[in-house]
Structure 1
Amino acid sequence: MAMTYRRGDDSGEAEPMIEINTTPLIDVMLVLLVMLIITIPIQTHAVKLDMSAAPSSISPPPPPPISIEIGADGTITWDGRAVGDGRDLEERMKTVVADLLSQPELRIRPDGRAAFKHVIAVLAAAQRRGVRNIGIVTAGQFSAPP
């Protein structure tokens, strides 16, 4: 607030005249207006999503996982059926990766006493054939080598 004096009547006394200084208020209002102008485009930013429920866009359920078990003596079973040798294992993996869109997960279950080289052989065969979904299932019971 500013206080100025003005001349009164003929008496010569100056009377106080009180006015509100509006300059700081205008400055604050201009700053708020600029901030509003800057933030409005950010608030109206939208992400476009295609939410159509077309039946063709629904993907089929994933195929059931395939369980590969590695015994303590190095025997390999594919969903409970014995695998003959490395070539037979790779041929089975080849059929798995034939359908790239719905590739099932290979769950490798090594025995706790199985040699590490047998597990590596299965993983290497999967890598050579291009298997993408591999999981190693353990019970946390690996024993130390004798």
Structure 2
Amino acid sequence: MAMAVGESSDDDVISAINTTPLVDVMLVLLIIFLITIPVVTTSIPVSLPKERVEVRETKPENVIISVDPSGNIYWYDARMPNTEALVAKLKEVSKKDPQPEVQVRGDTSSRYEGVGKILLACQRAGITKVAFITEPPPLGG
């Protein structure tokens, strides 16, 4: 047996890592994930509501109660002195058949307390139909 000096033999250790199989496996996994993810992420089909502006006609029998910025309550144009007077008027209205709708108009800068008083008075008087009157959104917005 002779010793080979300076020559490389087949028994030498290869120090470089071959990354080609690793890249091939990663590309195959990427393709598999790209194909299967849209199939796996299904959602329940639902019909979402569309934004709509419903034009409500004010009928003569409807009752309009307003709240100004300082919290004063108005029956049409007449200022109500207190909540008990409002309940008394609403009890008269609640006896009508069919019962009219109470429409609440609250100022944007008023506190919620005034609107809450109206809702409590409607509840105490037995009113079943209450609507909140708002301004329609601006066109195109």
Q: What TM-score results when the alignment is normalised by the length of structure 1?
A: 0.50
Equivalence for 2:10: none
Q: 1:121 aligns with which of 117, 120, 135?
A: 117
Tell me the distance in 2 between the aligned counterparts of 1:122 and 1:63: 20
Residue 65 of structure 1 pairs with residue 62 of structure 2? yes
Secondary structure of the structure 2 residue equivalent to 1:112: coil
Letter in 2 for 1:74: G
Q: For the structure 1 residues 128 and 112, does the alpha-carbon distance in structure 2 shift closer, same or farther, using more than 3 Å as the test?
A: same
Tell me the distance in 2 between the aligned counterparts of 1:108 and 1:96: 15
What do residues 10-55 of structure 1 show as CA deviations (whole Å, max 9, x unaligned)?
xxxxxxxxxxxxxxxxxxxxxxxxxxxxxxxxxxxxxxxxxxxxxx
TM-fit CA distance, 1:63: 5.5
Task: Count how many residue pairs are aligned between Structure 1 and Structure 2.
Answer: 79
Equivalence for 1:80: 77
TM-fit CA distance, 1:140: 6.6
Q: 1:91 aligns with which of 81, 84, 88?
A: 88
Indicate conservation of the 8 Å contact 1:63/1:102, yes or no: no
Secondary structure of the structure 1 residue equivalent to 2:66: strand
Residue 106 of structure 1 pairs with residue 98 of structure 2? no
Letter in 1 for 2:84: R
Secondary structure of the structure 2 residue equivalent to 1:107: strand
State the identity as a percent. 25
Q: For the structure 1 residues 120 and 104, does the alpha-carbon distance in structure 2 shift closer, same or farther, using more than 3 Å as the test?
A: same
Higher relative contact order (CA 8 A, sep 6+): 2
TM-fit CA distance, 1:138: 1.6
Q: What TM-score results when the alignment is normalised by the length of structure 2?
A: 0.52
Q: For the structure 1 residues 68 and 74, does the alpha-carbon distance in structure 2 shift closer, same or farther, using more than 3 Å as the test?
A: same
Runs of at least 4 residues of structure 1 off by over 6 A? Answer: none
Tell me the distance in 1 between the aligned counterparts of 2:136 and 2:104: 14
How do 1:1-146 and structure 2 match up within 5 A? 64-99=61-96, 101-139=97-135
TM-fit CA distance, 1:139: 2.1
TM-fit CA distance, 1:128: 1.3
